[in-house]
Amino acid sequence: MLKTGIQATGTIKREKPEEGYRMIKEAGFDCVDFNFDEYLTVHEVQTGAISDIFDRPMEEMWKDFAPHAEAAAKYGLTFEQMHAPFPLMQKGKDADNEKMLRITENCMELCARMGGRYIVVHPTTLSYSCSKKEEYAFNVNMYKKLIPAAKRLNLTVCLENMFWDQNGHLTEGVCSDFEEAAAMIDELNEFAGEELFGFCFDVGHANILGKNLYQSVVTLGSRLKILHIHDNDGVSDLHTMPFTFARSWNPVATDWDGFLKGLKEIGYRGVLNFETFRCMQAFPEELHPALLKLFADMGCYFSAVILGEEARSKEL
């Protein structure tokens, strides 16, 4: 079976992390996707209110995050993937960008210390006044700055498909053209001289934009390293549980069959990771153990579909 994971946000509490890790393990998960972006939010970064939580001496920062590593180890959980604060860089904000580069590199080191292998660093969608060519070049140059840290820490930096909110209308953001995203990853890895960049496929983001999930996954192929699995109504970024919106009454519901078919075709063997924090926030805490168990069971189902005959032959 493939490993299953769930993000820390919505389950892990800063003041008493051990309880959350215990619940995640008891539900049947193998891994946790740790959210550094919960500690420094996109709103804080975009408004320039960037705190120093990740801009301190490493040993000082480690005191804050070591309890998470210890609790995860206690319950036999690993951190296969993590999520850096974003945006890493914004056009015309050089001082903030310099600080965010330090912050991202520090998060990469924390990721490595906690045993992570992959870290998501969002690409930057520029305004409509910029050309696609300019946006592409901006992101390539941005990611190149992370190569020394990725090499030193033996981490894979993952790009993610994004959407763009323009006056309430959700449109295609950077890396949502998957052929372009594949080209960007290939260019970065060629420049680095090794495979330091991969892709985090966000199912919900793709569904919002009406993407063909099967074709998207197949286009990414072996570049696809990790997943953000969640559902929505095709209109808003809801981060709810898979199968929430039935195709029988919602024509833009997520094509889970196509998604799984694509993963099976490319031979995906990574973690089946659920990014369903809003669903966790919506349910009473008393129901969280049952909800986590349902997500873990969904992961087992996804794994069985993806592995198919391979899974059955191992059982025999």
d(C-alpha 62, C-alpha 56), whole Å: 10
d(C-alpha 214, C-alpha 257), whole Å: 8
* Spatial contact of 218 and 262, defined as CB atoms under 8 Å apart: yes
CATH code for the domain of 274: 3.20.20.150
Summarised one tens digit per residue, pLDDT across range 39-74 is: 999 999 999 999 999 999 999 999 999 999 999 999
* Spatial contact of 242 and 230, defined as CB atoms under 8 Å apart: yes
Tell whether the model's pLDDT for residue 251 goes beyond 90.
no
What's at 15, amino acid-wise?
E
Element (H, E) at 220: helix 213-220
d(C-alpha 248, C-alpha 251), whole Å: 7
Segments forming the whole domain that contains residue 13: 4-315
d(C-alpha 75, C-alpha 59), whole Å: 24
**What are the φ/ψ torsions at residue 175 (nearest 5 degrees)?**
70, 10
Q: Structural domain tally of the chain? A: 1
Tell whether the model's pLDDT for residue 118 goes beyond 60.
yes
d(C-alpha 88, C-alpha 104), whole Å: 7
Q: Which two tokens stand for residue 172?
A: 């295609």
Q: What is the mean pLDDT of the chain?
A: 95
